[in-house]
């Protein structure tokens, strides 16, 4: 079913090409297309923003792509090297639209652009949303079916979305002894390079380089907040959207002192007992598919050591204490939307059990501890340091996205509503679901147009401790207030209050 869905989705995006569009960029001359599925959307897919990080460039910061050669942007490029687990999950069983198609390759540093048809020919410039996918820094890509914005652009005709491909897993976060401290978090450097490319080129597509909003979900949301702290003086973007993730989420860092995981992989391929530089050069010669297969084998079998590759605290792209830095004002202070879901943990607790559901205690602990409380801490820190923050809690429960009785508003289930892809797998949305989806899209668009005043004009006010957040899609109501105090009651800083349940 998953493979069929991906193939079908890809087919719908290339069949019936009705117009070719050619645009000059710093990477080369790009030719995109318009299809019959979304005939008012121009698509430019897989545009390289960097040279392929292969051979001697593997595990080095992205080198910007330049030239005048023609670029066929009518199909997605590679997703960065990763693996698809064999374990059953909500995504693999019920929500295959979140699965990353397995067109993996190292030549993967690209952007994909969706714009209203003819936007490049108009005098007005449109707000731009730069998208960072999630996936725990281990997976993800621009062509995840549920996260394709073509239908959203078709409806709005008022903005542009750009997806940035960045390196993940061992290719993006190697923590290798042979690399400099500021070269370990390659995935975050890729993201910055992608944003810089957008700034330089988006005007040619009809976008406003002075109105770029950086939006990420899960690991992409964490990346958005890391970006916020990494570039306080030159963020390029003008607003931030963090969906189910902030820099306060714990457990995705290492201090960088222990390189044993990378060295274990190197030794497996005959690259052990070498100097740090020789180890790195030796592993550069090993096919990326073989490396990913080893990591997959350990993950699926629960073998030791666990081959997990996470960000290194380098005090450049990442830092140790985000509350301290926020209260010192060491971040961009850009306006931000911070969102969480009512049932985040339902899709993250294993084993998957379609009949009985999840261990509810464990799922609630994930919802609160991994997502809600970090969002609460981030919001409070931002308020204390005078930054505008808009909070919502998504509670939609729709059977075409959450088909099992126990899934609810699980982690990522809000994405199809914003991207307009909820009908992709399991039939049409209900009239209420359509209203919820369109309201969520309109909120994000208003913020992208004007991060300061756009949302208050729609009745959504910035965070105040005694004020209200928005509860979206719950109990038959599209959007309703929920007291910030109620939203935050289960959290004591980053700690969960004993016995607390997720709101509402």
Query: Out of 106, 344, 407, 488, which one is annotated catalytic?
Result: 344
Query: Out of 42, 411, 437, 488, which one is annotated catalytic?
Result: 411
Token digits of residue 1: 């079913």
Task: Assess contact for 433 and 399: CB atoms under 8 A.
Answer: no
Q: Are strands 468-474 and 477-483 parallel, antiparallel or unpaired?
A: antiparallel
Question: Is 218 assigned a catalytic role?
Answer: yes
Per-residue DSSP letter, 369: I
Q: Cα–Cα distance between 247 and 270 in angstroms, integer?
A: 37
Collapsed DSSP state (helix, strand, coil) of residue 138: coil
Query: Out of 27, 156, 169, 218, which one is annotated catalytic?
Result: 218
Classify the C-alpha dihedral 58-64-68-72 as positive or negative: positive
Q: Which residues contact 381 (CB under 8 A, 6 or more apart)?
A: 248, 322, 323, 326, 327
Nearest partner of 26 among 71, 89, 81, 61, judged by Cα: 71
Q: Cα–Cα distance between 497 and 492 in angstroms, integer?
A: 6
Task: Assess contact for 115 and 41: CB atoms under 8 A.
Answer: yes
Locus of tokens 């690209």 = 110
Question: Is 464 assigned a catalytic role?
Answer: no
Question: Is 411 assigned a catalytic role?
Answer: yes
Q: Which residues contact 360 (CB under 8 A, 6 or more apart)?
A: none
52, 445, 451 from 241: Cα distances, Å: 29, 11, 10
Active site residues: 218, 344, 411
């Amino acid at each position: 079913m998953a493979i069929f869905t991906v193939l079908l989705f890809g087919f719908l995006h290339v069949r019936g090409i009705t117009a070719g569009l050619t645009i000059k960029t710093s990477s080369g001359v790009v030719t995109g297309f318009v299809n019959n599925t979304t005939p008012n959307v121009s698509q430019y897919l897989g545009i390289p923003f960097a040279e392929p990080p292969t051979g001697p460039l593997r595990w080095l910061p992205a080198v910007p792509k330049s030239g005048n050669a023609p670029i066929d942007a009518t199909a997605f490029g590679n997703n960065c090297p990763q693996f698809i687990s064999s374990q059953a999950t909500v995504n693999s069983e019920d929500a295959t639209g979140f699965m990353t198609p397995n067109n993996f390759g190292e030549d993967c540093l690209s952007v994909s652009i969706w714009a209203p048809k003819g936007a490049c020919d108009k005098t007005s410039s449109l707000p731009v949303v730069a998208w960072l996918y999630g996936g725990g820094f281990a997976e993800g890509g621009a062509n995840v079916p549920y996260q394709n914005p073509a239908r959203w652009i078709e409806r709005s005709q008022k903005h542009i979305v750009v997806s940035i491909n960045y390196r993940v897993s061992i290719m993006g976060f190697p923590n290798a002894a042979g690399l400099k401290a500021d070269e370990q978090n390659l995935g975050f450097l890729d993201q910055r390079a992608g944003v810089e490319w957008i700034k330089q080129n988006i005007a040619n597509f009809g976008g406003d380089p002075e109105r770029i909003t950086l939006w990420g979900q899960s690991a992409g949301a964490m990346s958005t907040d890391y970006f916020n702290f990494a570039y306080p003086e030159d963020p390029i973007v003008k607003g931030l959207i963090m969906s189910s993730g902030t820099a306060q989420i714990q457990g995705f860092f290492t201090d960088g002192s222990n390189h044993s995981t990378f060295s274990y992989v190197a030794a497996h391929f005959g690259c052990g007992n070498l100097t740090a530089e020789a180890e790195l050069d030796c592993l550069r010669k090993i096919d990326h598919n073989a490396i990913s297969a080893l990591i997959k084998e350990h993950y699926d079998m629960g073998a030791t050591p666990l081959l997990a590759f996470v960000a290194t605290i380098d005090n450049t792209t990442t830092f140790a204490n985000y509350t301290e830095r926020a209260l010192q004002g060491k971040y961009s202070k850009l306006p931000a939307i911070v969102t969480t879901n009512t049932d985040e943990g339902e899709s993250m607790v294993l084993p998957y059990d379609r009949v009985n559901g999840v261990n509810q205690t464990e799922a609630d602990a994930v919802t609160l501890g991994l997502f809600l409380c970090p969002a609460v801490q981030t919001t409070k820190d931002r308020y204390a340091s005078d930054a505008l923050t808009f909070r919502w809690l998504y509670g939609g429960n729709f059977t075409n996205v959450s088909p099992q009785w126990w899934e609810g508003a699980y982690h990522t289930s809000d994405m199809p509503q914003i991207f307009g892809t909820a009908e992709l797998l399991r039939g049409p949305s209900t009239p209420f679901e359509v209203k919820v989806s369109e309201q969520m899209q309109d909120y994000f668009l208003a913020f992208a147009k004007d991060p300061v005043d756009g949302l208050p004009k729609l009745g959504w006010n910035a965070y105040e401790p005694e004020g209200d957040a928005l509860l979206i899609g719950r109990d038959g109501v599209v959007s309703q207030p929920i007291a910030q105090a109620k939203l935050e009651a289960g959290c004591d800083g980053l700690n969960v209050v004993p016995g607390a349940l997720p709101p509402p």
